[in-house]
A = this chain, B = another copy of it.
């Protein structure tokens, strides 16, 4: 296993120490239980957004904590759900009394633990709502999932809801907006290589030199099919067809096109993927009005990519464009 780490036991702790040293202007890090939260939390008069999930998908979610996005993120061990006590403590620290929205990727452990945390937080008098993201069209059920997996749309939901929260959206308005984003987002990914979980020390799966996995999950869960390696354009078609065929897209729609690296795929390849995906969308009558290209929801050093399409309207566009200042996303 070739990694820039000291010991598998310290990967998450030392990563968090690095984040704390790097971005004290944006975030603070709480240890035991572990969570990253806005340096200026709690933000008075604002609903607090809390997300989290297994580590290994960086910058998601810790890199999205800051002005205009999340108030807190709870990292679990690599590819392992965080625990309810992390979520509860994070909610307490960032809550300003206006309510807390949990944004949860659809994996069994995450859903269960965020539900438990919501119950505990409500028992302590906080108002909490949870929205589950399940945008992956690749498979209906999966290794860690009942229903579709939550992937790329999570990044977009956190940005858009974060923008809306800054303008004073109420908890129920934010939960509605988050469900709308989830309902309008569709994703699918693929892998050229496996990744290696530090504690395991060997690749999660074997993928021969001439093979690729279409529909891969962000923990290396099996996808739809394993095929001989094809050209970038053919791969993009294999990802875009199921995405565009799934509701809710129809000709004439405005969309955001998000081309994501699984971690080990360099930018030069992502732009080759973007080129075909953009053209594919436009050939299907979709107007690409916004985009995001880079490693945002990764699977350690896995080579591969995922594509997310999000139908956009005026509301989504406004909050996508709103200022954001986090370690991983910054503009406006």
Contacts and interface: CB of A to CB of B under 8 A. Distances in A.
A267 B295 contact: yes
Interface string A218-250: 000000000001011101000000000000000
B301 A22 contact: no
A232 B5 contact: yes
Interface stretch (A7-15, A132-140, A148-156): A7-15
Interface in A287-332: 288, 291, 293, 295, 298, 300-301, 303-305, 325, 327-328, 330-331
Contacts of A271: 14-16, 18-19, 22, 58
B231 A7 contact: yes
B263 A263 contact: no
B272 A18 contact: yes
A191 B193 CA distance: 19
A266 interface: yes
Contacts of A268: 11-12, 15, 55-56, 58, 300
Nearest to A193: B2
A15 to B, nearest CB: 4
A223 to B, nearest CB: 16
A58 B267 contact: yes
Nearest to A234: B6
Given A232-B5, A330-B331, A58 B266 contact: yes
A275 to B, nearest CB: 4
Interface of A is mostly: mixed
Given A192-B4, A267-B59, A278 B231 contact: no
Nearest to A292: B22
A195 B138 CA distance: 30
A206 interface: no
A227 to B, nearest CB: 13
A196 to B, nearest CB: 11
Contacts of A295: 266-267, 295
Given A7-B231, A15-B272, A301 B331 contact: no
Interface string A1-36: 011111100011011111101100000000000000
Given A5-B231, A21-B278, A264-B266, 11 more contacts: A2-B193, A4-B192, A4-B232, A6-B233, A15-B272, A21-B288, A22-B291, A56-B266, A58-B266, A264-B301, A331-B331
6 contacts: A2-B303, A5-B232, A14-B272, A14-B275, A21-B279, A267-B295
